[in-house]
Structure 1
């Protein structure tokens, strides 16, 4: 009986050992700690602080024909008698006077284009006896505006009085032309192209004029090979007035 018990115990011990080996077979060892992935942060890009832009005041460079030096202001040229000058400007900070001159001369606002200011500075530098003489012959509205802008830029111009007088005359001529009271050659309809009145022209050669009725028949006509002064009265009852080689007709004074 004891032998069987000892044998049974031996068998039981072997069984327990087998079970213990089976339970641990195939098991992994202790798990490795997880790996830590590190990344390098992107570099911090810093920019230089913005510097506020400071506008640069306008400076002028004026060259006049016959002058040995370059002028930086119109007044420097007034000691001479220059009839032709050219000017350029640099910078971008207009003074109130410069902005007003540009607006008056060219209708320009603050659009950044300051190049025409050089023209106004060059006009201010001109101080010859014949400067701005074109205003007496054919001062267009554009020319008048430009000269007025220049005078705003240089209100102390030595010939301001003379120039102002010519401006007034040119403006009057433009008004009379628009009203049909200053006119030249051609066939003109009375009341539309030309207004009734008495007109004169001067220093003419081979001048011919005629007043006509609605049917084109002459009411009166005239011809001269040369004359210092020719006068005609156009009536409201005339249909047309025609002149050839008579120059410019102006209201008689």
Structure 2
């Protein structure tokens, strides 16, 4: 992605920091007909974090999902949260501190497309509602690289509507654009994939044993939510 686009993304995400938690809850309920807490539970359920695991949360934002993972592991794990946005990282640190969970977490600024970690480092990598702002296949390959053999990747993201790929796709996409008009993140450097395409991308990135929890779009033209899990092969 061009550097100018990366700079713009950072600027916009910085501006969202103060209102991000409230706005994502409202957006999910109003536009997707889904409780944000259900999306978080979907990630935690498929991730099934275990005590003692080393976990990476990519594009951690304000740390909401990372904290839920730590709670599910009863605080007996280590979680590294990365984000390209300094203000989001600071918000995540504050949220962790308010819960007295600082020893569990490390946060740093980093790009999902170029993870600053050695191969075979993490037992679990997660990311939630962020990868449509990235080159997804590039990120998934990086995620696979830093996972230990047998490790899990659990990705929640907004999906394209299958109708967008058909003959009436351009019209359906116009309806979707009108429906999403005025929302903070409407198509900001975004590339959306259908649920089927997500399965293909996971396989192409080298993951096996994929599972998916798919939340159908609210309307025939609008976007859905998918939580996808893949395993890095041992051999």
Which of structures 1 and 2 has the bigger CA Rg? 1
Fold match by TM threshold 0.5 = no
TM range (shorter): under 0.3
TM-score under structure 1 length normalisation: 0.21
TM-score under structure 2 length normalisation: 0.22
Q: Which has the higher contact order (CA 8 A, sep 6+)?
A: 2
